[in-house]
Structure 1
């Protein structure tokens, strides 16, 4: 059956006037059975804007950005920060709250810890995708269900590899685009929220050691940072896949079974 209307190109997907967060979250949980709370992240040009968010928490001690994200995704908190709340330049620079100056670009503190030489550390810093410094003064995270960052700049979705590939399949259902990402290694928050905030494109990452040690990210989780305007497209695509029998959890077929019956259920003429 031919499509009734051509799919929108990705660049033509616009921000809706409002979001039905309940419908989006119901869709994600129905199709993917997520175990970690989907959250939003938003940057603010003034601290006062951030502090005006309803029931926002402010840290009482120094944290990594990973911990702040974890407080929203693992505890369901709405938390706002400035650069003074963060442990070092690396965290602040990724979200544009600290200058990406010569000292930061050198990455001296990583020498002998994550990378062998100063050349290696500088190459790593240069490879990171970050929000340019100067515009923003604060950041907040909050569960999407709370609706307090309406809309957030990006949504953060933690999922297992099996859940994540179906999420991506849903995103690619209509108006197909090949998705390509990179991996900077340590500081891979630059691959997820750094890249998504900078480019406003869906950005997948393998969470790094720091995200798992300090942010509570589980060892089988990947992270998708995605502008929320894409989420209705993902849900719609997942619905079509589900109707075709392509669902989570993905049941093992058996590595010694005759594959023709299983493949025939999906690819035979309808």
Structure 2
């Protein structure tokens, strides 16, 4: 079902890279049962955003343990390790991202994270491969225009107002960290590290949501498209009376 919805998502939004799923595992051995699983390069440690990009760019199905991450926040956001007192105290980012230790400590204290000590593995895989049955969350990167149309699709049959968080640096906490820990739809502004190391483009935002919301949004976008509301949005022009255009939608 998610694979078919992903084909439709690509038709509706024309996104650049593969939508992917994430699934947490208590026992890493269970990850080996997944078809096509590969492990990150032995002897190398990656940021989570790098491994997500390996999946969304190259189509890899990756089984990840804490040994593959750089520890600290990278593994800590998804619950694979305790972030460590160097991070939680504010020492690590003091003088880099923050001008004092208290600001750096508060950044860590308020960051959404999966609780550590429960999960020991994580798989990321393209949704089109249907290898996670089902994933815990679905992810895709897109432009602001693509994201608002996706949210419009979410609201088509069941309206709710969405609130999102902004951590600043370590913004993966606002996307997969928040979505995995709360199962809430989460939109984030990717941070410096995601852009420098994960290859996130300057105009990309990141959507993370549970599978049911992903499916509902795709269905809703299909209805919007039938109503003549489609992506990309054809510009009407700032110097033109909008009456004729609005009449197409509202009569």
Compute the displacement of 1:171 (Å): 0.3
Match for residue 39 of structure 1?
A: 20
1:30 aligns with 2:11: yes
Contact map agreement 1:159 1:221 (CA 8 A) in 2 = yes
Query: Which whole-Å CA distance do the structure 1 matches of 2:155 and 2:89 have between them?
Result: 38
Contact map agreement 2:87 2:93 (CA 8 A) in 1 = no
Contact map agreement 2:4 2:128 (CA 8 A) in 1 = no
Compute the displacement of 1:239 (Å): 1.4
Return the TM-score normalized by structure 1.
0.89
Match for residue 257 of structure 1?
A: 240
Match for residue 73 of structure 1?
A: 56
C-alpha distance after superposition, 1:210-269 (max 9, x if no partner): 11111111111110001111122112211111111110010111111111111121111x
1:124 counterpart (99, 107, 111): 107
**Mapping of residues 48-63 of structure 1, within 5 Å:** 48-60=29-41, 61-63=44-46
Query: Which whole-Å CA distance do the structure 2 matches of 1:87 and 1:192 have between them?
Result: 19
- Report how many residues are paired: 249
Match for residue 219 of structure 2?
A: 236
1:204 aligns with 2:187: yes
Which sections of structure 1, spanning at least 5 residues, go unmatched?
A: 1-19
Query: Which whole-Å CA distance do the structure 2 matches of 1:107 and 1:73 have between them?
Result: 32
Which sections of structure 2, spanning at least 5 residues, go unmatched?
A: none
Moved more, 63-72 or 232-241: 232-241
Query: Which whole-Å CA distance do the structure 1 matches of 2:91 and 2:68 have between them?
Result: 22
Query: Which whole-Å CA distance do the structure 1 matches of 2:2 and 2:164 have between them?
Result: 27
Q: Helix, strand or coil for the counterpart of 1:225? A: strand
C-alpha distance after superposition, 1:98-145 (max 9, x if no partner): 114544321311111111111010111112100001110011100011
Runs of 4+ residues over 4 Å off in structure 1: none
Query: Which whole-Å CA distance do the structure 1 matches of 2:149 and 2:12 have between them?
Result: 9
Match for residue 9 of structure 1?
A: none
Contact map agreement 1:74 1:216 (CA 8 A) in 2 = no
1:111 aligns with 2:94: yes
Tell me the C-alpha RMSD between the 2 structures.
Answer: 1.2
1:98 counterpart (81, 84, 89): 81
Q: Helix, strand or coil for the counterpart of 1:215? A: coil
Return the TM-score normalized by structure 2.
0.96
Query: Which whole-Å CA distance do the structure 2 matches of 1:127 and 1:264 have between them?
Result: 47
